[in-house]
Amino acid sequence: MENETVENVGGVAGDALRAYIERIERLEEEKKNISADIREVYSEAKGNGFDAKIMKKLVKLRAMDRADRQEEEELLDLYRRAIGLE
């Protein structure tokens, strides 16, 4: 390949590739910031006496719709009784 440049190595379009990579890097950066914000909220809550682990369970439960949540809880309850786990 005669006119091979950094933008076109072995048939790979370097410009296009770099553009994708940079878009991803920007998005990863944003995501990282949001994760830091979330950690901060948990930390603040903890400072006011709340238990972060339990809060995470609440977040999960709220994310499920009510019907699913109830169905799942009832089934778990049933299984627990079946094996005698209180």
Summarize as ranges the residues that interact with a copy of itself (CB under 8 A): 6-10, 12-14, 16-18, 20-21, 23-25, 27-28, 30-31, 34-35, 37-38, 41-42, 44-45, 48, 50-51, 53-55, 57-59, 61-63, 72, 75-76, 78-85
Does residue 68 interact with DNA by CB under 7 A? Answer: no
Q: Where are the alpha helices (DSSP H) in the chain?
A: 14-47, 52-63, 66-83
Locate 83 and state its tokens.
């094996």
68 binds, among DNA, a copy of itself, none (CB under 5 to 8 A by kind): none
* 6-41 as b/e: b if 16+ CB within 10 A: eeeeeeeeeeeeeeeeeeeeeeeeeeeeeeeeeeee
Site for DNA in 1-60 (CB under 7 A): 28, 31, 35-36, 38-39, 42-43, 52-53, 56-57, 60
